[in-house]
Amino acid sequence: MTKKQANNPLHGITLETAVTSLVDYYGWDGLAKHIDINCFKSNPSIKSSLKFLRNTPWAREKVENLYLLQVRN
C-alpha cells in the first residue's frame, strides 16, 4: 500500500485540512469564485462543506486540485 501512496501528493492531507487551508487563503467568497458550488456560497461552514464534499466526488476533486495549486505556489 505504501507504493501506491508514494506518488499521491495528497497522502496524509485530510479533506478538512485542505478546505480549512483554502478558506484561510481565499476566504469563503474567493473560494466560491474558484469553485462554484453552493456549499461555499450559501451559509458556508467547514462542517457542511465537508459533508457535501465527502458525498460528491466531482466537487471533492475540484477542491483537491485547487488545494494542490495553492500549495505549489
Q: What pLDDT score does 4 carry? A: 62
Per-residue pLDDT of the chain (73 residues; tens, 9 = 90+): 445 666 878 888 899 999 999 999 999 999 999 999 999 999 999 999 999 999 999 999 999 999 999 888 7
Cell numbers given for 61: 476533486
In the chain the domains, ranked by start, together with CATH numbers, are 12-72 (1.10.720.30)
Global pTM reads: 0.86
Q: What pLDDT score does 73 carry? A: 74
- Among 44, 24, 21, 48, CA closest to 32: 44
Among all chains, which residue has been given the C-alpha cell 467547514?
46
